[in-house]
Structure 1
Amino acid sequence: MTGAVVDQDVCSPQAARALPPEEFQRIFVDRNRGVVDAADQARISAARILVAGCGSIGGAAVEPLVRLGFRSLALADLGTYELTNLNRQNATVDDLGRNKAAVAADRARAINPHVAVDVATDGVTEETLDALLAGVDVVIDGVDVTTRSGLAAKGLLHERARARGLPLMTGWDMSGTQYVRVYDYRREQRLFGGAVTRRQLDEMPLWELLARLVPARKVPRDLVGLIRRGLHRDEFTFPQLVQAADMFGVLAATLTVRLVTGRPVPSSATVDVHRLAMPSGERLWDRLRQPVEVAGLLLAMTRGARRRR
């Protein structure tokens, strides 16, 4: 594809790094032209985005944000990379043991050396959150939900975003499905859209919380069976795949552009890449079987909740 208006492209790292920031940015986003107009590109360049949690989904959002032209990021994560992360997260063997937010910051600066990145290696806490949210336009919530401490951090993040009237999005990578939920706290006053209260977030069993936060119709059929078999097993862990994690980056970056340029966004967006890759007959069967299997899962969860009471 042709049509670039740059006088002469830059073909060496030394020459690129020697450019003044605005000249670098002009050339860097040149191929956005025609899809992103000059006024919107200026809004993107001026916006500040918080990515809270830089693992599977949060980490997937950083690179597309930078490549679209966002130049001001706050990144927070207390976790470090382990080998089991590398099947889906944006890291390499050389990053093992390093803080996830710090790795994401290095990646952002390697793409655009003029990106301003603030890093909180303590993650989302009472002590870090006010500084992280300062001047932020959009919050991307990638905070882990597999631990009580993670759930507490997620609740705190949503409370502070609501208090500041900030739009926030989060995602759920489920097998080949990415379900993105947007909570527009500029208008929405209920935490998590009213799905759960802060007290429930602190006290409710994980399975019941997930059932409230993720609509059953969004859970892919292959994962439904796995959940049902592992429902009451302490050793059960959710499988996570790169297709769904990377899809969050695509969707989150697109939604963020719409938010900072003043365009409306849906309350949710879902992409099932496994179903999209199926031939039509298999896709139809998958679509018809999914609600039946979800009903069985919900029944099993209800019975389990009754036994606990």
Structure 2
Amino acid sequence: MNVFSAPDGAPWHVSAFRLDAGGQEQAEAVRRIRELRARILFDHGRRPDFRTTDGGYADDQDLDFGAWHFVGRREPDGPPLGYVRLSTPETGELFQTRAYLGSQVYEELLRECGFGTAETFEHSRLVVEHQARKLGLGVYLNAFAMAAARCLGAKAMIGTSGTADGQDRFHERFGFHAIPGTRRYVERYTEDVVIMLYRSALPAGEHAGLVEQLEDLFPAATVPAREAGLGGEFGRASDVCGQAPDVADRASDVREIRACGERLAAASARADDGAEPCWRPVHFELGRAEDRARLRELLDSGAVREVRDTIEDQLAELVTSREPRLRSSPEAVERAVAEQLGGAGRQEYGTWVWYPWSGRLVHLLPREEFRLVRTDRNRGRIDRAQQRRLLGCRVGVIGLSVGSSAALTFAMEGIGGSFRLADFDTLSVSNLNRLRAGVHHLGLNKCVLAARQMLELDPWLDIEIHPGGLTDETMEEFFSGGTGPLDLLVEECDTPYVKVAAREHARVLGIPVVMDANDRGLLDVERFDLEPQRPLLHGLLGDTTSRDLTDLTPQQAVDVILTMVDRERLSPELTAAVGQIGTTLSSWPQLASGVALGGALTAEAARRILLGLPRPSGRFYTDLEVLTSGDRSTVAPSLSVQEIS
């Protein structure tokens, strides 16, 4: 079989061939290609529509005839590990994008972009076995299809792209851009799909060099379908994954890792000595030569105090979370793990994450696989499609004392993938009665503390901090800057001006606000996204604006906050304590149990709001003293001491 090996020496062999309609040979080749695609797209049940009732796999598309097909392997005669299709204008009436948009909209879209149907090619069905995805096969196949299109005279390339696993971002790195207004949910793929377009006259993004090399070499890689290695069974990944490395091999890998290091990260480890404490972890992927060198310097620097490598257990969790029935057979788990690795060394698989503030270096699964396992126990309460939707949301948290419980609960539950945290205060001894922190954190800004803890749960979270708190100068950036406007605000600060000013901004932008008042389990919800004219704080302050709340005396601030939380509904304990604040009490009394409850209440409300489930504006009490009183018991009361005696 004529094969093409990637020009930079990567172990991928790609064969390209075109299939025309007619003939048993072509029909059999198409059948096998469709089986390969459907099995990978099925993805252990994630897309059930690609499984047939008899247990087979099906992805029948007339577009296959007349299209170019590209198959990738690790070895010239090995089984296919990936595939992509390129369709030319001759079959343009069958394009997926045309069917997705409708013919009229499709042609209008091309005209608006300056292209005609006769010069637009479509690439589609990029599928790669799990164990080959992290090794770069998808990049080579996509680059190959683009190179072929340019070589064949394409002025533009168009295609549908999924969004759940970041496929749209993958294509952006090749110079494709999403067409506004084309994103919508497609049941067959169980995810949102968007149309993406590439102008062939432009460089192919960060992979321009690879595409240019392949464009020159594409003709030499083409073969007749009968020579494309499609005879016999395609072979599943388990047929080619080989044996797992033995203990000696793994020990050698570990020694190699420990022989690596990164001196420049030693400065990061001492960042707390400077004006701005560090809170961002550093990521290393050992498949990259640059990262290997950086990690080598880090370990040589002596800054690493602890190495945590549980990748074996994580891989076992990954494969059994996809297929729980494997748990009954350790041998089946071992085979599935070997298939997942696809011959890659365990030490090279996934990501090594360096936490400078603790000196820990942790080995984790790749991001999407890590998140799949980390949120696996959410299933049954939050399905995977909902989880992906939540991870696409941006959440702001103001006040990281009570608000830290909400922020950490959100991070644990997977509510939000992007966060903005604002608090000017630092951790003090009196905070330790309700914040999850240790004495070694004293004096640390509360934003930094929360960001570190959240990133220790998920090192891929996108977090911005505002350690100066929320001011007139930073308000706009907090609500609308960075990655875009917030989808939800959690407001937990003690300053009346900020509480009202934040709501004023949220109402203008249509951002819902949730708040826990930390007394009697009070949850406050303001759906400014649904009610743009809704009075702030349900009208409890009348026409008061944020400008009316500047320069308040301490007593005036207390009075305003009591009005906000409705003093008539305060618990007896807090009512009695209010008059003592500033005399016998230093500040508002708060307990860890109430703060923990507030995190749960705000998380439940946020999850429902962000998923479009019912959660109206209003105030709701979860008073544990009332809810757990004796008359609420659902079982017979115990005998009293007198009755027992």
Q: Give the TM-score of the pair, scaled to structure 2.
A: 0.39
Unaligned runs of 5+ in 2: 1-316, 324-332, 338-346, 354-361, 633-645
- Secondary structure at 1:173's aligned position in 2? coil
The one-letter amino acid of 2:524's match is R
Counterpart residue number, 2:643: none
- TM-superposed CA distance for 1:217, in Å, is 5.0
CA distance in 2, matches of 1:67, 1:235: 34
Determine if the alignment matches structure 1 residue 260 to structure 2 residue 605. no
1:179, 1:218 within 8 Å by CA — same for their partners in 2? no
- Secondary structure at 1:166's aligned position in 2? coil
Partner residue of 1:82 out of 428, 448, 468 = 428
- TM-superposed CA distance for 1:29, in Å, is 0.8
- TM-superposed CA distance for 1:18, in Å, is 3.8
Counterpart residue number, 2:560: 209
- Secondary structure at 2:601's aligned position in 1? helix
Counterpart residue number, 1:224: 575
Determine if the alignment matches structure 1 residue 133 to structure 2 residue 479. yes
CA distance in 1, matches of 2:399, 2:561: 18
- Secondary structure at 2:613's aligned position in 1? coil
- TM-superposed CA distance for 1:35, in Å, is 0.8
- Secondary structure at 1:140's aligned position in 2? strand
CA distance in 1, matches of 2:504, 2:452: 29
Counterpart residue number, 2:322: 6
Counterpart residue number, 2:398: 52
The one-letter amino acid of 1:237's match is S
CA distance in 2, matches of 1:109, 1:268: 32
- TM-superposed CA distance for 1:268, in Å, is 2.0
Counterpart residue number, 2:526: 183
Partner residue of 1:162 out of 500, 507, 510 = 507
Determine if the alignment matches structure 1 residue 142 to structure 2 residue 492. yes
| More helix, by proportion | 1
Unaligned runs of 5+ in 1: 145-149, 282-309
Counterpart residue number, 2:212: none
CA distance in 2, matches of 1:179, 1:153: 20
- TM-superposed CA distance for 1:17, in Å, is 4.1
Deviations 1:229-266 (A, max 9, x none): 53795866321111111111001111110011011214
Deviations 1:163-211 (A, max 9, x none): 101000112113xx22121111121422222211115544592343234
Counterpart residue number, 2:285: none
Counterpart residue number, 2:443: 97
RMSD: 2.9
CA distance in 1, matches of 2:425, 2:567: 29
Determine if the alignment matches structure 1 residue 241 to structure 2 residue 591. yes
Partner residue of 2:625 out of 265, 274, 277 = 274
Partner residue of 1:115 out of 438, 461, 469 = 461
CA distance in 2, matches of 1:124, 1:17: 36
- TM-superposed CA distance for 1:129, in Å, is 1.9
**Change over 3 Å in CA distance of 1:96–1:231 after alignment to 2:** closer
CA distance in 2, matches of 1:191, 1:215: 14
Determine if the alignment matches structure 1 residue 194 to structure 2 residue 194. no
- Larger relative contact order (Cα-Cα within 8 Å, sequence gap ≥ 6): 1
Query: Which structure has the bigger radius of gyration?
Result: 2
Q: How many residues in Structure 1 have an aligned counterpart in Structure 2?
A: 270
- TM-superposed CA distance for 1:67, in Å, is 1.2
**Change over 3 Å in CA distance of 1:248–1:114 after alignment to 2:** same
- Secondary structure at 2:521's aligned position in 1? strand
- TM-superposed CA distance for 1:25, in Å, is 1.1
Counterpart residue number, 1:289: none
CA distance in 2, matches of 1:217, 1:17: 53
CA distance in 2, matches of 1:104, 1:25: 20
CA distance in 2, matches of 1:255, 1:62: 13
Deviates more, 1:35-44 or 1:217-226: 217-226
CA distance in 2, matches of 1:238, 1:195: 21
Name the % identity: 27
Counterpart residue number, 1:296: none
1:220, 1:272 within 8 Å by CA — same for their partners in 2? no
- Secondary structure at 1:249's aligned position in 2? helix
- TM-superposed CA distance for 1:224, in Å, is 2.4
1:6, 1:30 within 8 Å by CA — same for their partners in 2? no
- Secondary structure at 1:98's aligned position in 2? coil
Partner residue of 1:251 out of 601, 615, 618 = 601
